[in-house]
Amino acid sequence: MLKSKFIDILKTFTPEELKHFRDFVHSPFHNSNKNVIKLYDIIRKYNPQFESPSIDKEKLFRKIYPGKKYNDTVVRILLSDLLRLAEEFLIQIRSKREPFGEYLYLLEELKDRSLDSLYKTNFKYTSDILEKMDDTRTKYFSKFELEVINVDYYLRKDRQQEITGNVLERIENLIYFTLIELVRNIHDLIINERTYNAKFEFNIAYEFLNNFNFEAILEKLRINRTVHYSIILINYNLLMALMEEENEIRYDNLKQSIDEGFSQMSNIEKYHILHHLESCCLNRMKYNANKYRKEIFNVYNLMLPSNAYSYHTGEMTAQRFKNILVAAINLNELEWTEKFAEEYSGKVQQEYRESMFFFSRALISFCKKNYSDALENINKVRYDYFILKLDVKSWTLKIYYELKYFEQAFSMMDSYRHFLSKNKSLSPDVKERHLNFLKFAGELFKFGTEKRNGQISGFKNALNNTGNVVHKEWLFEKAEILAKA
């Protein structure tokens, strides 16, 4: 069976794409090698899996060059040519989905060839397309690129006096793009620092922010009533809420600006804004769990009806599915949770779909006090997804407690603690949250095996005074039950 990067691409093609790719390979404009055409026509017969023993380099060679001695180099060159053609074909597919790049190339050619009438017609057509673009960030950068070409066009004609306004617009669009992109990248930096323990000796992004007067720029935009003020304000508030996570005013300002501008946002803008708002709530949970559990649930109730849970694929990430599931469970929204799991578990990205299905069933069964079912389902979860490992371990410990599987629990606590101590990818904040849980869970399990009623009051006080603990309410609830026993 043939192993080839070309075959890997071919497996992703739809039947319609395979048909168009055949035309692409047969086109003299793209390919003049008849043996490349022969090779593709042979391989194409074995779709959709392309895994037949007949797809073997020597067998393919004999079909293309009957009677000749096998030459591995020749076959590798032919496959390399097919790979190049497949990559060019993918570029064309992407260009048809996002044609703006093609229009820019066309304008560049028309400008270089001094085809003025066609240039002006296509410039207006491209400008009109940009105005209908949903993604504000992409729109600003695309407008910048368009004006780079346009300004150069007029400079070549020695008509600089006609484009002074265009020069300013070019700069404005670059600045607006930079401000929005800055927020998105700072968000990703913060997530990597707080979840995956990423550290940098020098961070130019933070240095830029510390030396940039963002508020003064915003005030100028507000006074001049620019149409860009609302979206830039939202992005600024997002940035401040992410960076100053203990500042409640920052979050309230963000929420207000989003509420005021949400109905005017495109779906892509809603996706990005709600994605960042979700992170704000998650980061702030350790400071005010009650408030941000409600806030994040409200975020998801905005996100799901507007299909803003996915950027463009329609699939939901395993992380988001888990976050929504846990958010609803934390508020005891069991009926809502069941409907959500039923509707959205099939939309989780394919490689994690089955695991998230069993994980949701485990949590729902736990809430219904069907602990044996919960254990059965959570044991079916394949937690190759990194962050899910911690969730599976913590929820399994809770299930063991309810089933009084104390011996299994103590054994799991050792492996759980070992995982936390050895894993350098976990941020200190995440480690602390789970180590605190292990500490209190260990004491709780001892209360279940030994008579220590006099120590439960101290346990509750210590738990109450510890902010960063996963499953804190459950621990407190179990301690209350033991105190009353």
pLDDT in tens, 99-136: 788 889 999 999 999 999 999 999 999 999 888 887 78
On the question of pLDDT at 214 being above 90, the answer is: no
Q: What is the pLDDT of residue 267?
A: 79
In the predicted model, what is the mean pLDDT of residues 23-32?
94
CA distance 176 to 193: 26
- Are 418 and 184 in contact by the 8 Å Cβ rule? The answer is no
Q: What is the pLDDT of residue 24?
A: 94
**Which string of DSSP letters, residue by residue, matches 376-388?**
HHHTT----STTH
How deeply is 265 buried, as exposed, middle or buried, from its count of CB atoms within 10 A (0-12, 13-18, 19+)?
buried
CA 93 to chain centre: 23
Q: What is the pLDDT of residue 190?
A: 79
In the predicted model, what is the mean pLDDT of residues 204-230?
85
User: Bigger pLDDT: 226 or 215?
Assistant: 215
Q: What is the pLDDT of residue 25?
A: 94
CA distance 243 to 359: 32
Query: Among residues of the chain, what percentage have pLDDT more than 90?
Result: 40
On the question of pLDDT at 246 being above 70, the answer is: yes
CA distance 347 to 308: 13
Query: Among residues of the chain, what percentage have pLDDT more than 70?
Result: 95
pLDDT bin (cut points 50, 70, 90) of residue 1 is low
Q: What is the pLDDT of residue 250?
A: 93
In the predicted model, what is the mean pLDDT of residues 460-470?
87
Residue with tokens 């860009």: 228
Tens-digit pLDDT profile for residues 305-328: 888 888 766 789 888 999 999 999
Tens-digit pLDDT profile for residues 248-298: 999 999 999 988 888 778 778 888 888 888 988 988 887 888 899 999 999
Q: What is the pLDDT of residue 313?
A: 67
On the question of pLDDT at 19 being above 70, the answer is: yes
CA distance 256 to 471: 30
Tens-digit pLDDT profile for residues 355-406: 999 999 999 999 999 999 999 999 999 866 666 888 999 999 999 999 999 8
H/E element holding 77?
helix 72-97
